[in-house]
């Protein structure tokens, strides 16, 4: 029962947080939704093989017959945290942006480690550990930040080209 309560609480917090953080005025709303969806795609790509190879297991999850992963983490919490990271680092210099990733991946790793030890929501297998989780979380935050910065760069370049042709 404790596991289901934690899962339900994370779901409620995630959905409530999604509404709040996606609709904040800081930055461009399109960017936040784009980051959310890019992070979902990246998470799905990384999580699928990890679960198929049985490095991670989510014994307690919603829709266990349909999904091997924890959809709350994969499609709500993780993408939302990436939106928050991008909002936090919106106007930061690259070095500060890179170092700030640890403010997000560190606590998430600690929470997942606690969940792994104290609940049946996540299980590490085959040599998976918190260090790997930390590295993967950090890498994906930086990867998505790089993607959105690349998209912003291309958007500015295309906008400038349109002005020159008008």
Task: Report pLDDT digits (tens) over 14-63.
Answer: 777 667 666 666 667 888 889 999 999 999 998 888 888 889 998 888 88
Distance CA 71, CA 52 (A): 15
Q: Which of 44, 10, 24, 12 is nearest to 144 (CA)?
A: 44
Longest dimension (CA), the chain: 64
User: Total structural domains in the chain?
Assistant: 1
- pLDDT value, residue 128: 92
Backbone Cα Rg of the chain: 17
Q: Which residues does residue 57 pair with via DSSP β-bridges, in sequence order?
A: 123
Which range, 8-12, 23-27, 143-147, is most confident? Answer: 143-147
- pLDDT value, residue 7: 77
**Three-state SS annotation for 91-153:** CCCHHHHHHHHHHHHHHHHHHHHHHHHHCCCCEECCCCCHHHHHHHHHHHHHHHHHHHHHHHH
Encoding tokens for residue 132?
Answer: 């790997």
pTM: 0.85
- pLDDT value, residue 26: 66
Q: Which residues does residue 137 pair with via DSSP β-bridges, in sequence order?
A: none
- pLDDT value, residue 18: 65
Binned at pLDDT 50, 70 and 90, residue 139 comes out as very high
Distance CA 81, CA 88 (A): 10
């Amino acid at each position: 029962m404790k596991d289901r309560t934690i899962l339900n609480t994370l779901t409620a917090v995630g959905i409530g947080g999604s509404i709040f953080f996606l609709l904040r005025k800081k930055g461009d709303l399109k960017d936040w939704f784009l980051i959310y969806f890019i992070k979902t795609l990246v998470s799905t790509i990384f999580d699928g093989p990890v679960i198929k190879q049985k490095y991670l297991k989510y014994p307690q999850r919603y829709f266990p017959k349909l999904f091997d992963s924890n959809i709350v983490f994969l499609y709500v919490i993780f993408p939302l945290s990436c939106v928050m990271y991008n909002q936090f680092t919106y106007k930061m210099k690259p070095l500060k942006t890179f170092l700030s990733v640890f403010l997000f991946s560190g606590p998430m790793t600690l929470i997942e480690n606690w969940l792994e030890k104290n609940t049946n929501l996540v299980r590490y297998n085959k040599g998976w550990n918190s260090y790997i989780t930390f590295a993967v979380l950090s890498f994906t935050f930086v990867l998505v930040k790089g993607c959105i910065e690349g998209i912003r760069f291309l958007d500015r370049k295309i906008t400038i080209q349109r002005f020159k042709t008008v």
